[in-house]
Chains A and B, each alone.
Chain A
Amino acid sequence: MYLELARRNLQRAKVRSLLAIIGILIGVMAISAIGIFGESLKATVLESFEDVANELIVGPNYYAGYRYIDEKDVYQIEKLPYVESAIPVKSDTLLVESKKLKAYLQIYGLTEKDAEELFDAEKGIIRLKGSCVVGKNLAETWDIKVNSKITINSREFRVAGILEDTGARFDINPSTALIVSQDDFDKISDEGYTMVIVKADRLDHVDNVKKAIEERLNSREDKVYVFELSIILERINEAFSQINIFLMAIASISLLVAGVSILNIMLMSTIERTKEIGVMRAIGAYRTTILKIFLLEAAILGIIGSSIGSVLSLVGGYAIDYIILQNVKYVFQPGILFYLLLGFSVGLTTAVISGLYPAWRASRLEPIEALRFE
């Protein structure tokens, strides 16, 4: 019944109630839509790193006087539990020349099988028999096509393929790489294995693999360092979460404005209804009853505004994702529910808190003073 009473009082001042609802609605929408966008952005970025998440990079510990990783150590790593593959990589910075350009570039030596596992060819094929493959960016800037010829350290190579840009990696960047077979590499450089790309069979085994490698190879001296790429994912995750919280905090300023408008509207309402409050007190309403009625009004405004705001934030999130990410597949995901609930509860809380002071003031009115009010 108090609910009914509150509802009718809101209906009595339709325009005013509507404005309050719109205020809350916009605030809730801003918070939730930005939350959804932030989450989508994070998911998009994380997805591009998904392939490398269960990778570890093992490198020689230069600080203890190691320059390369031994072949037998590579073999040991391969045999460790949970290790799916261990790809040893040689690399050196060598003079590369094409028809028009020359530069010192990072050259990698990989077996053809390993290169095929790590990369896909966009044009041509991955074939490393006296030939090489190059990254897309490099090919574009150097104007290199399939079957072009380049010389590396005065030795001629035919370009067999151009790599597809499969997103960022931390071991070998597929857009700028220049890869030859290890046999060919030995002909142009004296360098040994400078890193081993290790893949754990599952993401949650990465830690175990890291420990096992360290135990096996670093038992006497720290020969190698092991770097988990999943740490980068965690950092990205953290960074985006923080950005998201920051953006939502900014969005909630609009809710603050809505809160002030509710405060204002409710204060006006208590003043207008002073006499009614006096009547209700005279015929037996407790102070707490008056408080309840006014808080209910604020809560109703909050619930309506927040509900509509939550629904509209899906639309808003969809729009932002569409415009900025050109991809809306992350809008309708269970994780988004959190942002809808967050927006809803922040909206409702704002409304109720804003209603608190007017409701309290209404309940403190002395019955006789209130009755005398005209």
Chain B
Amino acid sequence: MKVVELVDVSKIYQTEFYEVKALENVSLDVEEGGFVVIMGPSGSGKSTLLNLIGCLDKPTSGKVLINGVETINLSDKELTELRRDTIGFIFQTYNLIPTLSALENVELPMIFKGLSRHERRRRAKKLLSVVGLEREVDRKPKELSGGQQQRVAIARALANDPKILLCDEPTGNLDTKSGEQVMSIIKEQNEERGVTVILVTHDPTLAKYGNFVIRLRDGKIESIEGG
């Protein structure tokens, strides 16, 4: 089953003085359980592509389907629910909420979903132990290392048991060892729990984790390898 389907997607950024064609006629299918690595140099449109898949942004033209659902026609509320229940985001800069502890950060998506306090506590603790942070539950983000913060972010992304994990340069700010730790957790989620992973990076060493590697250049797909 196709969890993500892009049909002829273009994205043009209109600024005051010029326009940028960030994506041009990109078509792409991602099957459930796949691990797709999208590679390309900086400015090639990777983040733009990921944000479209994550329903954070809308294409200038073309269609984006998530789980077979056309997202163009969805309301802001429906898009929010789609992101909350089906998609997990992992950002390069972790983006944890600084006032909340590790545990509370992981709880947040479940709060938005309306889970009971007891249920979300239990689940957040379990997820933090999956990423190896059972001892750090009460720490605030600034009391954690970059690698630890990114692992909290992974736990948060997994909070509502998403079908799709979207990772934008997840190792971009990490040293090699932490980067590998983070990648192995993501890989594990993909292999053991069947979570579909779409990961964008400009780091060629990450290509090995994917069973598809898509190369992007100047907003166009250059090649697709694997399968």
> Which A residues are within 8 Å of any B CB, using their own CB?
1-2, 5, 8-9, 11-12, 275-276, 279-287, 289, 367-368, 371
Contacts and interface: CB of A to CB of B under 8 A. Distances in A.
Nearest to B157: A283
A5 B80 CA distance: 20
Nearest to A286: B80
Contacts of A8: 99-100
Contact of A284 (B98, B100, B160): B160
B18 to A, nearest CB: 18
A368 B112 contact: no
A284 B109 contact: yes
Interface of B: 51, 54, 56-57, 76-77, 80-81, 83-85, 89, 91, 95, 97-100, 107-109, 111-113, 117, 156-157, 159-160
Contact of B89 (A1, A11, A283, A289): A283
B111 A1 contact: yes
A282 B57 CA distance: 10
B109 to A, nearest CB: 5
Nearest to B55: A367
What are the 3 tightest A-B residue pairs by CB atom distance, in nearest-first order? Answer: A284-B84, A8-B99, A284-B112
Contacts of A12: 98-99
B97 A285 contact: no
A294 to B, nearest CB: 14
A286 B111 contact: no
Q: Which of B108, B156, B159, B160 has most A Cβ within 10 Å? A: B108
B84 A283 contact: yes
A285 B54 contact: no
A281 B56 CA distance: 9
Contacts, number: 61
B151 to A, nearest CB: 16
Given A283-B83, A283-B89, 10 more contacts: A2-B111, A276-B97, A276-B98, A280-B97, A284-B83, A285-B80, A286-B77, A286-B80, A287-B76, A368-B57
A282 B56 contact: yes
Nearest to B54: A282
Contacts of A276: 97-98
A249 B39 CA distance: 65
Contacts of B91: 279, 371
Contacts of A1: 107, 111, 117
A11 B91 CA distance: 27
Contact of A282 (B83, B98, B99): B83
Given A5-B100, A283-B156, A368-B57, A289 B112 contact: yes
Given A5-B99, A5-B100, A276-B97, A284 B81 contact: yes
Contacts of B113: 284
A279 B56 contact: no
A1 B107 CA distance: 10
Contacts of A371: 56, 91, 95
13 contacts: A1-B107, A1-B111, A1-B117, A275-B95, A279-B95, A280-B97, A280-B112, A283-B109, A283-B157, A284-B109, A284-B112, A287-B80, A368-B51
Contact of A367 (B56, B85, B157, B160): B56
Residue from B91, B98, B99 having most chain A Cβ neighbours under 10 A: B99
A141 B112 CA distance: 83
A224 B80 CA distance: 82
A371 B83 CA distance: 14
A256 B56 CA distance: 38
A334 B100 CA distance: 44
A275 B97 CA distance: 10
